[in-house]
Amino acid sequence: MNSYRSDTYGEHVAEIYDRIHPGVLNTDDAVDTLSALACGGSVLELGVGTGRLAIPLAARGLTVHGIDSSEAMLNKLRSKPGGDAVTLFLQDFSNLQQSGKYRLVVVAADTLFMLPTQDDQVRCFNNVARHLTPDGLFVVEAFVPDQTAYASGGSLVVRRVSTSDVVLGAATHDRAGQLITGQQILIDNDGFHLAPGLLRYAWPSELDLMALLAGMRLRSRWGGWQQGTFSSASSRHVSVYERLR
């Protein structure tokens, strides 16, 4: 995708993000699980977006910091009730430069894959490890790659249909590069809204290796935020990493 930058997705999607995720992302169970894992400690969310997770976590009394590369997404977050309870940083999270340490660092909703190269993702794991307290946890929520979804080189999926709008996802796939180039498309009576995205995906086993390189290991892996069993039928995973002692 030409001239794609770390803020391209956020700057295009900010106006529609909160309209396209209901019914697509499981927010309530995510907040329950994350708040239990935080054990009252401080939380850092990478790619905090419009605060879908960060605002309810802060409302539970947790100290929550959020990083995002898109000013438009952060402005949406700031404008919401409770948004001022989240401390925000306009930053690329592959180059984490926080001064503190956190009990929980989370990167949800496939956001880790928005780092466009393996090197960026490895650097992210390394930086996260440096910013965890000794008992700290790193939580990654992402899809499990499914090559059959791109049998003809691309895909078009219907994510949601309602009486007022349709949400679609269109994508092309580069199997060698583990790259998906896509558009999220919202169609309503006002027309089309497009949000371009570039994802460099990784299998759970590759993420586990990145964690090991960074001095962390897998503590738990669930098939979703309800903490169900992860199996070969799982289309998503929630992986919890801890520091090697």
Ligand X SMILES: C[S@@+](CC[C@H](N)C(=O)[O-])C[C@H]1O[C@@H](n2cnc3c(N)ncnc32)[C@H](O)[C@@H]1O
Interface with ligand X (CB under 6 A)? 6-7, 9-10, 47-49, 52-53, 67-70, 73, 92-94, 108-109, 111, 114-115
Q: Which is nearer to ligand X, 9 or 230 (CB)?
A: 9
In the complex, least distance from residue 245 CB atom to ligand X, rounded to whole angstroms? 29
Residues with Cβ within 8 Å of 36's Cβ and at least 6 positions away in sequence, in order, are none
In the complex, least distance from residue 120 CB atom to ligand X, rounded to whole angstroms? 8
Structure tokens at 28: 């309530």
Q: Which is nearer to ligand X, 196 or 223 (CB)?
A: 196
In the complex, least distance from residue 10 CB atom to ligand X, rounded to whole angstroms? 3
In the complex, least distance from residue 244 CB atom to ligand X, rounded to whole angstroms? 26
In the complex, least distance from residue 134 CB atom to ligand X, rounded to whole angstroms? 26
In the complex, least distance from residue 152 CB atom to ligand X, rounded to whole angstroms? 26
Q: Which is nearer to ligand X, 68 or 129 (CB)?
A: 68
Q: What is the 3-state secondary structure (H, E, C) of the chain?
A: CCCCCCCHHHHHHCCCHHHHCCCCCCHHHHHHHHHHHHCCCCEEEECCCCCCCHHHHHHCCCCEEEEECCHHHHHHHHCCCCHHHEEEEECCHHHCCCCCCEEEEEECCCHHHHCCCHHHHHHHHHHHHHCEEEEEEEEEEEECCCHHHHCCCEEEEEEEECCCEEEEEEEEEECCCCEEEEEEEEEECCEEEEEEEEEECCCHHHHHHHHHHCCEEEEEEECCCCCCECCCCCCEEEEEEEECC
Structure tokens at 115: 């780092």
Q: Which is nearer to ligand X, 99 or 231 (CB)?
A: 99
In the complex, least distance from residue 47 CB atom to ligand X, rounded to whole angstroms? 3
Q: Which is nearer to ligand X, 153 or 177 (CB)?
A: 177
Q: Which is nearer to ligand X, 42 or 111 (CB)?
A: 111
Q: Which is nearer to ligand X, 1 or 244 (CB)?
A: 1
User: How far is C-alpha 189 from the geometric centre of its chain's CA atoms?
Assistant: 29
